[in-house]
Amino acid sequence: MTALRIDGKSFAARLRALVKEAAGAIIRDHGVTPGLAVVLVGEDPASKVYVGSKQRQTREAGMNSIEHLLPDDTSQDDLLALIDRLNADPAVHGILVQLPLPAHIDAAEVINRIDVAKDVDGFTILNAGRLATGQRAMVPCTPLGCMMLLRDHLGDLAGLEAVVIGRSNIVGKPMAALLTAANATVTIAHSRSRDLPEIVRRGDIVVAAVGRAGMVTGDWLKPGAVVVDVGINRTDEGLVGDVDYDSAAQVAQAITPVPGGVGPMTIACLLANTLTACCRIHDIPEPDLGTA
Ligand code: NDP
């Protein structure tokens, strides 16, 4: 058996086209242009690449991209003052602070200063709490993208066993919350889990969000599992995921590749969240982007 390759790149392109169409309609019918403000502090090369892609794709979707590129020695107070200005700016509907922030910055304080209505990354405590308690939330982009791919492939997830490897606030925990809300039976594994292969073998769905190249191999998987590989690991062989694609593809039903799987979905979902935030702020009916 060779697993189906879940094409996140094409799916993300379709989602971006939907966002662009919906943004055009909002501009035309309501005279409002959705705007995303991106804040980057410092010179981290990977962050610069991500921020560049986000800016380009925001503009390509017909929305405004507002960039704030700040020096590495920006103070906490100056950063908080900028967030306050963006919170108050009617042209800004989404605010994204690129992580990681320099060590002298209290990232939690900065993130939680973002107006919950403009928190398009879904990283504020308020949004995380809303998601955890089943209220309408702004959902973090990477887990949202994973859910869209899973739903597209599997339809109803009710009753399926899902194993999420990783418990970070930005991927693992919100992923588990979304799967739980979709009525899957969810196990969260992490670095202290015992006998990880045995746990992973339970999964009809396996989401790997660890940051260890090729850690999940085919012999860990239940035959017919659907595998979502969130990992992005830079190796001598280039960019690879947390799943050993070749061995996993012999056992799984379907699997997302790296690159071309979850990665493109993350930015497409950021655009979708910005549009959603704009609609909610202006009381405009939300278009159906398939994110609900
Ligand atoms: P974190 O480092 O914050 O979390 C990693 C998680 O993996 C932790 O919960 C950790 O456990 C767990 N872990 C580490 N080692 C093991 C192990 N040996 N066995 C089991 N679990 C382990 O990472 P993120 O959640 O931020 O990101 C995870 C990966 O996803 C990274 O490769 C990152 O680059 C990628 N990523 C990709 C995105 C995309 O758009 N495609 C977006 C965001 C992230 P513990 O809690 O016990 O330490």
Q: How far apart are CA 150 and CA 187, in angstroms?
A: 16
pLDDT at 70: 98
**What length is written for the chain?**
292
How does pLDDT run across 81-105, given as a tens digit for each residue? 999 999 999 999 999 999 999 999 9
Atom of ligand 1 nearest to the CA of 242: 32
Beta bridge partners of 38: 67, 96
Ligand 1 pocket test target in 191, 192, 258 with most atoms within 8 Å of CB: 191
* DSSP 8-state secondary structure symbol assigned to residue 34: -
Q: Is residue 262 within 6 Å of ligand 1 at its C-beta?
A: yes
pLDDT at 292: 83
pLDDT at 288: 95
| Structure-block tokens of residue 43 | 């010179």
Q: How far apart are CA 36 and CA 34, in angstroms?
A: 7
Q: What is the pTM of this model?
A: 0.97
- Return the active site residues: 54, 98, 121
How does pLDDT run across 182-194, given as a tens digit for each residue? 999 999 999 999 9
Tell the residue nearest (CA) to atom 39 of ligand 1.
263
Residues of the chain with pLDDT under 50: none
The residue with tokens 């919906």 is 22
Q: Is residue 209 within 6 Å of ligand 1 at its C-beta?
A: yes
Q: Is residue 169 within 6 Å of ligand 1 at its C-beta?
A: no
pLDDT at 38: 98
